[in-house]
Chain A
């Protein structure tokens, strides 16, 4: 089965840029989506189709995808960005929706 690998944690100070990776075999051939999950709240889609932002998501959130790695970039990080972030793809061969293990973003 297809596996997505994310670092368990990423830490940044306010105003810096956070990079969260999502690794998978030839993930560049798939569309990658990213979700933000804050404690006690429903997950929120922050990036879809590698780099598109849903309405209401700040431009500080961006995404890229190539080769065996996709990335979520959060520029000018704010305290409110502290959350767990999950990447997700569709494994088309088996019609399975796959999530990465999640990355906890800590804003120091």
Chain B
């Protein structure tokens, strides 16, 4: 059974960098045909795609966040990570990692449970 688990600080100060890790079990990032992605949901708002990464390191980012986002993959640990710089209160959200199926247009076929990150001093 494939599982994804987000981890990282639940509180980040304004202007600092938000860093999260997604640990994958039951599937190998290095051999899987899937991309791996990050999505967030701010309080009272809808889902927002952040970006995707492949095992090769190839990435796709949301144009609205591209200037502040970096997604990296560590195949030796079967993990991928998210870094979001210069955070503000608007970045307070529940952050999800997900497996991205690229067959016939991309969609997220498996999600982590999510982790809440609050941006506050």
Query: What residues make up the interface of A, taking CB atoms closer than 8 Å to B?
Result: 1, 30-31, 33, 35, 37, 41-45, 48-49, 54, 86, 88-90, 92, 94-102
Contact = CB atoms under 8 A, between A and B. Distances in A.
Contact of B47 (A30, A44, A102): A102
A86 B46 contact: yes
Residues of B in contact with A, size category: 20 to 34
Contacts of A49: 104-105, 107
A94 B63 contact: yes
A94 B107 CA distance: 16
B10 to A, nearest CB: 16
B47 A96 contact: no
B105 A30 contact: yes
Nearest to B47: A99
The 4 closest A-B pairs by CB, nearest first: A31-B105, A33-B107, A97-B49, A42-B111
Which of B37, B105, B111, B112 counts the most chain A CB atoms within 10 A?
Answer: B105
B62 interface: yes
A45 B47 contact: no
B90 to A, nearest CB: 17
Given A1-B63, A30-B105, A43-B111, A98 B49 contact: yes
